[in-house]
Structures are given as C-alpha cells and as structure tokens.
Structure 1
Amino acid sequence: MTPAARMAACLTAQTRKRVDFDVLAGAADDGDASLPTSPMRRRVLAAAARELATTGLVRLPAGDRGWDRSAHPPLPRWVERTTPSRVRAPRPRPRAWVTALSFATRTALSKADLALLDPINVFLRDRPKAEPVPLAERFYELYGDEKYLSRPDTHHLVAADLLSIPAHLRAFATPAPLAMFELGPAPWMLIVENSAAFTSLRRVLAAWPAAEDVGWLAYGGGDHLIASLTTCAEAFAERRHPVTDVLLYTDLDVDGLECAQLAAARARRAGLPKLVPAAGLYHALMHQSPRPWPPAAPERIRAAVSWLPPCLARQAEQLLLDGHVLRQEALPLDRLRTHLTAGAPLLPQLLGSSSTTGQR
C-alpha cells in the first residue's frame, strides 16, 4: 500500500473535517518502517499530499499559515476532508401492495419503513391466513432478527393504527410471565414490588389459618410488572381460578407510585379487574420509620400520590415533600404478622376497608 493509500485509509476514520497532517504522516510511517528515518521522507509525504488533493479526497491549505516551510519541500499543517458529491439514488420501482397494506400507497414512508413493510407484504401475499405465533418468532422468520424492533408497540405506524401486529404480522407479544403463586382459592391477587416484602407476605399467607381466605400472591416491579400484567389472565384461565380483585403494594416513593399508575392503566387495557392500592398494607407502612431521600418536584409528587386513597395520598404527599420515603422493608415480617389479624377476614384488611368493595 502506498503512503497516499495509507493516508486515504486513515482519513476514513476521522470525524472532523480538518485533519492535522501529522496524523496522516503517522499513518504513512506506520505502514513503512524505513520511512521515518528516510532522507526522502519529506518528499514522499509532500507527493502523497498532492495525490490526495488531485484525487479530490482533501483540500490543501490556501494561505501561507497552513504550510510548514521549515524545510523543502513544504508540507501542509492540515488538510480538509472533502464531502463526496451526492449520487442521486435511483427511483424505486413501484410496489404492488397487498390490500391489507394499502395505506402504504398514500403514506410517506422512510427507507426504514419500507424495510419493515416489504417482507410483511410478501408474507401477507403468500400466507394471509398464517397461524399467529410469538412476535419474536415472526421477526426471526421475516428479518432474521428476533429483536428487529425493540418496542414494536411504539413504532409510529403501529401507534397510528396503520400497522397491526395481530392482523399484519399474524403475531402476538410474549412478555415474561409475572411470578404468581396460588396460595389459596380466594378470588383475589396481591402483587408486591420488592422481593423481601414478597417473601414475608408469602410466609404470612401460607400459614393463614383460614386457607379459604387466601388467593394469589405475585411478585413484580417496574417495567417488568407493567409488561407482564397481561400474562395474568391466561394463568387464571389455566388454573380455573379467576379473580375479582387485584391489589398492588409498592414502596411509598415517587417511582413506586408512578409504576403503580402505569400498571393500573395496563391492567385496564388488558381487561383485568381494576388494579387498586393495598391500602391496609400502606397504612401499616406509613407508621414505620422513613428514610431520607431527595424530594422530587411538588407537581410530580402530587401526581404520583393521586393513585392512593385520599387520606393516604395526603400523608404520602407530605412524607415525600419533607424529603423522606418508606421502603417496604420498613415493615418486616414480625410487624406484618401483628398487623394482619388472623381471626378477621383477610381481603378487607389488605384493602384497608371494612368490606371488599370499600376501595373498588
């Protein structure tokens, strides 16, 4: 490889338009061990610079300040990379879209959109009644990449109700299942955010003397909970153990309460019973020792606590505004046992009401 060719290769790795000539000279030296000590080095580098300019890869400095004239021949102190002229892309041939994708004929589509839709077009043409499969399997079939779209439900064509995952891709999402434990036959489920609180509640409920009062206990938090909620209905149907009440118990902090609101919206869209706060557990948690935590903006705090019943919301708002939070670990196993009275109906205690309908 010639010195000019090595300089040209070095240019492709540069991000700035102006490149110090020393960088290019170093690339030429690296490719020829004899060049750094050669008496002809300056002439070789000057010739390579002229060749780069002649071929249009760089522009040499126009003024005297841009040249090193301490020896002969002069060398540029820098060069400027040129922007290659745009080559007009050939006009794409008209596509014949299947009827199900007719929106593509009247919608401005990017190259990425066309890369997404073309395989679907062929798929619907050849297999319009294909059996629905998990979305990752369909992506692998059509694109050779099971994660072709990281968040398909937010893609602009899907969000605009133009592209349908069930109808066009003949596929369905498969979120990781929520960790659910059927501790008894009662028609309710309690979801707990933290693993320590989940373990403590599992021990309390597993030993509950009136086994018929106990239902499902589930563990999940954050994005996992929101994505996995849709798997609950299938589990209820498989076990022939439906629920009429779904309760959620999170940390008393902004992130936990915002997660609860998102989960409640997801449950509603999935056709699950209304997701409500486990107010009885929150009441017990509110009487424990908080820990300091930098407060969020007041408007964000007010929006987050609005998911709680009014009395709890006021207490939680003041707690968070004062720069404190309450993690579920503040209500440990022994205090949970004390708080939940074994001789009384269990669900009203979890709901913080005297009847199962108080918070619904």
Structure 2
Amino acid sequence: MTAADRMAAFLARQSRQRVEFDALAGAADQGDSSLRCSPERRQVLADAAQELVRRGLARLPLGQRGWDYSAHPPLPRWVNRPVLPRTPRTRPGPRAWVAQLSGLVALPLTAGDRALLDPVNTLLRDHPDAELIPLPERSYGLYGDEKYLHGIERHRLVTRGILDIAAHLRARPSPAPLAMYELGPAPWLLIVENSAAFTSLRQILGGWPDRSQVGWLGYGQGDHLAASLPTAADSFRERNHPADHLLFYADLDLDGLECARQADARGRAAGLPALLPAVGLYRELLTTRTRHVPPASAARVSEAVSWLPSDMRSQVADLLVSGKALRQEALPLPALRARLDPTAPLLPQMSGLMLAASPLANPDGAFVADGGKEGALATGADCRF
C-alpha cells in the first residue's frame, strides 16, 4: 500500500470537509516505519497529495497561505474533501392502508413511522384476526428483533390512540411475573419492596401460629412491580385463592411512593383491588432513624404522598422535602416481630386498622364493619393505628 493509498483510507474516515495535512502525513507514516526519517519524505508526501487530487479525493489550497514553503517541495497545510452531489430526496408515494389504519392517511409520517407500520399493515391485511401473542414474540415475527417493540406503549402513535397494541399489533404485554408465595389461605396479599424486609416478614408469617390468618407474600419493586402486579390475578385464579386486599410496604421515599401510585393504577386497570399502604408497618417505620437523601421537590412530594392516609402525609412530606427518607432496613427482624402480635388478628395489624370495640366485633375477634360484613377494611385515607 502506497503513501497515497494510506492517506486516501484516512480521508475516507473523516467527517469534516477540511483535513489538516499533518494528519494525512501521519497516516502515511503509520504504514511505513522508514518514511518518517527518510530524506525523501517531503517529496513522497508531495507526490501523494497530487495523487489524491488525480483520484478526485482531495482539492489542494488556493493561494500561498495554504502552503508550507519552509523546504522543498512545498506541502499543503490542508486539503479539502470534494463536496459530493446530494442525492435528491424523494417522498414516498401514497400508502394503501388497511381499514384499521385508515386514520394514518392524514398524518405526516416519518421514515421510522413507516418502518414500524408497514409490517403491521401487512399483518392486518393477511391475518386481521391473528391470535394475541406476547409482545416480544410479535416483535420478532414482524421485525426479526424481539426488542424492536420494547417501549412501544410510549410511542406517540400509541399515546394518541392511533396505534393499538391489541387491535393492531395483535399482541399483549408479557411482563415478568410478580414473585408471590402462598403462605396461608387468608384472602390478602402483602407486597414488600426490599429483599431484607421480605426475608424478615417471610420468617415471621411463616411461623404465625394461626395459619388461617396468613395469606400471600409478594416481592416487587420499582418499574418491575408496576409492570408485574397485574400478573397477580393469574396466580389468584390458578390457585383458586383470590385476594380481597392488596397491601404494599416499601421505603418511605419518593421512589417508593411513586412506585406505589403507579402500581396501584396498573392493578386497578387489570381488575385488582386497590393497592393500599401497610399503614401499621409504615407507622412503626416512622419511629426509626432517618437517612439523608437529595431533597425532593415539593410538587412531586405532594403528589406522591397522596397515596398515604391523610394523617401521615404532612409528616412524610416534611421529611422528603428536607432531604430525609426512611429505609425498610431501619425496621429489622426483631422490631418487626415485636410489632406483630401473634395473639391479635394479623391483617388489621398490618393494614393499620384498629379492631372495633366490643359491639362491632364478633366473639372470635374478627373485625366486623358497620353493616355486619366481616373483614372489611377502610381505605388508606381512613386507616388508623
């Protein structure tokens, strides 16, 4: 490979129109260790520059300012890559959309939109009643890439109601399932965010003397919980063990509260009961030592704490705005064990609902709400400890 060849290869990798000749000379040196110290180096570089011009790969400077005359032969200080003629962009012709996608006719679509929609259009044309399958499987079938449709629910065509995952993509979400453990027959599910608190509660509930009071224990956090909570309905159905009450126990910080609100909305949309705070456990957590975190904005905090009962909101909001939070690890196994009294009904202790006084409690000690319905729980806003 000649010096001109090595300089041409270097030029081809550049994005700028003007390229310093010192950089080109360095590229020539890299392929010939003897060139750098050769007395013929300057002539070799000058000949290579002229060869680049003959190949149509470079234009040399016009005028003396663009040349180095410190020795003979003179060398250019830079070269300019020729401006290639632009290929005229052609707008794609009108697309024949199937009836289900006819609303796309009036929309300005990008090339990316068309790459997304063309396979969908073909699917609906050839198999309009295709069976609903998990989204990654549909993604692989349409695009040869199981992750192509990842995050499609945030695409502007989906958020504007123009493209529907079920009706048009013939797909359904397939989140990882919520980790759930059936510890007893009671109709409730407690979801715990951190693995340490989950391990402690699993030990306590696993040894609860009255097994009829124990229900499901789940583990989930963050975006995973919000996505996977609807899968709990499948576990309830498969085990013929439904849950009337869903409780969540997480860190008392901005992320934990926002996660709870998002998971609650996803669960309700899937037909599950409201996800309520495990107020009894949270109140105990509020007695522990805080840790410092970045202060949260008052607006986000105000929205996040709305998931908590009204008499807890201001205390938690003050903590978060001042740069403090409470981690579940601050309430370790011994403290949790001391908080949950095995001689008292379990669910009211976790939910924070006081047992009713004598006239509203049955002889077995089970809570009876007004109207005589056993086991009813107040909403988060009405919970008391």
TM-score where L is the length of structure 1 = 0.91
Q: In structure 2, how many angstroms separate the alpha carbons of the residues matched to 1:276 and 1:174?
A: 25
Aligned equivalent of 2:279: 279
Which runs of structure 2 are paired with 1:298-313 in the superposition (5 Å)? 298-313=298-313
| Secondary structure class of the residue paired with 2:162 | coil
Residue 146 of structure 1 aligns to a residue whose secondary structure is: coil
Q: Please name the residue that 1:157 is paired with.
A: 157
Equivalent in the alignment of 1:116? 116
2:3 and 2:45 in contact (8 A); partners too? yes
CA distance in 1, matches of 2:103, 2:44: 60
Comparing 277-286 with 9-18, which one deviates more in the overlay?
Answer: 9-18
Task: Give the match for residue 208 of structure 2.
Answer: 208
Q: CA deviation at 1:59?
A: 4.6
* Residues 182 and 217, structure 2, Cα contact 8 Å, conserved in 1: yes
Q: Deviations over 1:62-108 (max 9, x none)?
A: 45443221112222223344553320134434433222222232221
Distance apart, 1:319 and its partner CA: 2.4
The 1:334/1:142 distance shift into structure 2, 3 A limit, reads same
1:36 alignment partner, SS class: coil
- Bigger shift: residues 307-316 or 330-339: 307-316
Residue 9 of structure 2 aligns with an amino acid whose one-letter code is A
Do the aligned partners of 2:135 and 2:149 also contact (CA within 8 Å) in 1?
Answer: no
Query: Which residue is 1:24 aligned to?
Result: 24
Q: Mean alpha-carbon deviation: is it higher for 329-338 or for 155-164?
A: 155-164
What corresponds to 2:379 in structure 1? 359
**Residue matched to 1:44:** 44
The Cα of 1:53 is off from its aligned counterpart by 4.8
Paired position in structure 1 for 2:77? 77
Could you give the per-residue CA deviations for residues 128-159 of structure 1, whole angstroms, max 9, x where no partner exists? 22222111111111111100133111112111
Pairing 1:160-309 to 2, within 5 Å after superposition: 160-309=160-309
| Percent identity (aligned) | 59
CA deviation after TM superposition for structure 1 residue 185, in Å = 1.6
Alignment-mate amino acid for residue 377 of structure 2 = T
- Tell me how far 1:5 sits from its aligned partner: 3.7
Contact 2:191 2:217 in 1 (8 A): yes
Distance 1:272 1:259 in 2: 16
**Equivalent pair of 1:178/1:229 in contact (CA under 8 Å):** yes
Q: Distance in 2 between matches of 1:23 and 1:348?
A: 76
1:331 is matched with 331
Decide whether aligned partners of structure 1 residues 219 and 256 sit closer, same or farther in structure 2, where only a CA change above 3 A counts: same
> Following the alignment from structure 2 to structure 1, what is the Cα–Cα distance between the partners of residues 343 and 260?
30
* Residues 2, 111 of structure 1: alpha-carbon distance in 2 compared, 3 angstrom cutoff: farther
Aligned length: 360
Residues 323, 123 of structure 1: alpha-carbon distance in 2 compared, 3 angstrom cutoff = closer
For residues 311 and 179 of structure 1, the distance between their equivalents in structure 2, rounded to whole angstroms, comes to: 31
**Alpha-carbon displacement from aligned partner over 1:26-75 (angstroms, at most 9, x marks no partner):** 22233345543444432332343345456664454445443221112222
8 Å CA contact retained: 1:351, 1:359:
no
Q: Secondary structure at the match of 1:161?
A: coil
CA shift at 1:339, angstroms? 0.7
In structure 2, do the counterparts of structure 1 residues 57 and 266 end up closer, same or farther at CA, with 3 Å as the change threshold?
farther
Question: Which structure 1 residue ranges, 5 or more long, are not aligned?
Answer: none
Superposed structure 1 runs of 4+ greater than 6 Å apart: none
For the aligned residues, what is the CA RMSD? 2.3
TM-score w.r.t. length of structure 2: 0.86
CA distance in 2 between counterparts of 1:289 and 1:277 reads 20
